[in-house]
Amino acid sequence: MHPAVSIIFFTTASGAGYGLLVLLGWGVLVGHLGTQVGFGICAFGLALGLVGAGLLSSLGHLGHPERAWRALTQWRSSWLSREGVSAILTFLPALFLAWSWVVVGSVSSAAAALTILGAIVTTICTAMIYASLKPIRAWRNPWTVPIYLVLGLYTGALLTALLLHVYGMRGPFIGFMIAITGLAGAALKIGYWLFLDRGVAASTPESATGLGAIGKVRMLDPPHTESNYLLKEMGYRVARKHAKRLRLIVLALGFGMPILLTFLAHGVGPAMAIVLSLAAAVLGGLGVVVERWLFFAEARHTVTLYYGASHA
């Protein structure tokens, strides 16, 4: 599948934003964070900014962005529609929580709980857009939803740690959160890649053409000499050696280094801790961008079976 920049940015940015919202809501519920105004402005500004920028970016790949409001109507059947509705509804408790934190100075537990719920539901909806597509084995499997959730929480935790260091509120909890979500994310990705490499889709050139009774099916002549929408959108191929290298980059730079930097940041002075946690957040974010690029680039669509692919 073609890795569109707008969708990769949308899923990674909004994932991190929702992860940050979950942790802020959690901090309110357990009473760990207090209500420091500067921290509140930065944290909610960053979280809602990432979510908002992601949503705007997702409009960028539409043929008719001015009609985007129509996408809120079909929540009964469409995960894309559910995602839109859920994203907008989540803004309500999140904005109320931010207002009660920054302006009122007394946070609402109900708003925090609803923010956590909305952020998780929206991330699940995003993942289900992909996990519900039967023609794409790399997406329609039990790995997709947990990976979106855990990577959102992981990148959100890296941002939370950075903000805590900036405002001198360091504590052990967020470090453990980064380690747990980072290790879980790496384990999920390794499991997912094994799933990807060790199997093929149920559909074959034989089932796609129905000619399997005669024998093995091979493409003789393509229907057109030039490329078309189907091949540009769904015929994307990434070289196997590049994919292998990019997977290692995701594991080492996206998960390994940020976890290491997070622990190092706990043993150094405040200024150095900010630098290290900033590096961790940047590396983790870039790692998830590479991970998301691979999520698209490695995914094969059954339509390619009509264009000479031996498996999907």
Partner 1 sequence: MTSLPTTSGTKKLGLVIDLDICVGCHACAVNCKEWNTSGHSAPLTDLDPYGKDVDGVWFNRVHSFEAGDHECGRTVHFPRSCLHCETPDCVTVCPTGASYKRAEDGIVLVNPDTCIGCKLCSWACPYGAREFDETDGVMKKCTLCIDRIYNETMEEVDRVPACVSTCPVSARHFGDLGDPESDVSKLVAAREGYDLMPELGYKPTNKYLPPRMPKRQSAPALMPSEEVAAKGFLAWLDRMLSR
Cβ contacts of 59-63, under 8 Å, gap ≥ 24: 60/6, 61/4, 61/6, 61/7
Neighbour tally for 293: CB within 10 Å: 18
Asked if 111 interacts with partner 1 (CB under 8 A), we say no
Stretch that binds partner 1, among 175-183, 265-273, 283-291, 297-305 (CB under 8 A): 297-305
Measured from the CB atom, the residue of 96 and 148 that comes closer to partner 1 is 148
Residue with tokens 């150095």: 272
Stretch that binds partner 1, among 21-29, 148-156, 160-168, 211-219 (CB under 8 A): 211-219
Measured from the CB atom, the residue of 102 and 201 that comes closer to partner 1 is 201
Asked if 89 interacts with partner 1 (CB under 8 A), we say no
Asked if 136 interacts with partner 1 (CB under 8 A), we say yes
Asked if 237 interacts with partner 1 (CB under 8 A), we say no
Q: Minimum distance from CB of 79 to partner 1 (Å)?
A: 7
Q: Rounded CA gap, 219 and 135, in Å?
A: 20
Tell me the backbone φ, ψ of residue 15, rounded to 5 degrees. Answer: -60, -45
Q: Minimum distance from CB of 85 to partner 1 (Å)?
A: 10
Asked if 1 interacts with partner 1 (CB under 8 A), we say yes
Measured from the CB atom, the residue of 10 and 39 that comes closer to partner 1 is 10
Binder to partner 1 among 60, 142, 222, 270 (CB under 8 A)? 222
Measured from the CB atom, the residue of 84 and 93 that comes closer to partner 1 is 84
Asked if 180 interacts with partner 1 (CB under 8 A), we say no
Asked if 145 interacts with partner 1 (CB under 8 A), we say no
Binders of partner 1 in range 248-267 (CB under 8 A): none
Tell me the backbone φ, ψ of residue 136, rounded to 5 degrees. Answer: -120, 100
Picking from 112, 93, 100, 143, the residue whose alpha carbon sits closest to that of residue 31 is: 112
Binding mask 42-81 vs partner 1 (x if CB under 8 A, - otherwise)? Answer: -------------------xxxxx-xx-xxxxx-xxxxxx
Q: Rounded CA gap, 104 and 236, in Å?
A: 51
Tell me the backbone φ, ψ of residue 64, rounded to 5 degrees. Answer: -135, 80
Residue with tokens 């769904």: 234
Asked if 113 interacts with partner 1 (CB under 8 A), we say no
Torsion of CA 151, 153, 159, 160, to 10 degrees: -160
Torsion of CA 151, 153, 159, 161, to 10 degrees: -120
Q: Which residues does residue 146 pair with via DSSP β-bridges, in sequence order?
A: none
Tell me how far CA of residue 289 lies from CA of 6, 8, 144, 155, in angstroms.
11, 7, 15, 11
Stretch that binds partner 1, among 115-123, 199-207, 245-253, 266-274 (CB under 8 A): 199-207
Q: Rounded CA gap, 204 and 23, in Å?
A: 44
Give the binding site for partner 1 (CB under 8 A).
1, 61-65, 67-68, 70-74, 76-81, 84, 129, 132-136, 202-203, 205, 207-224, 226-230, 233-234, 301-303, 306-307
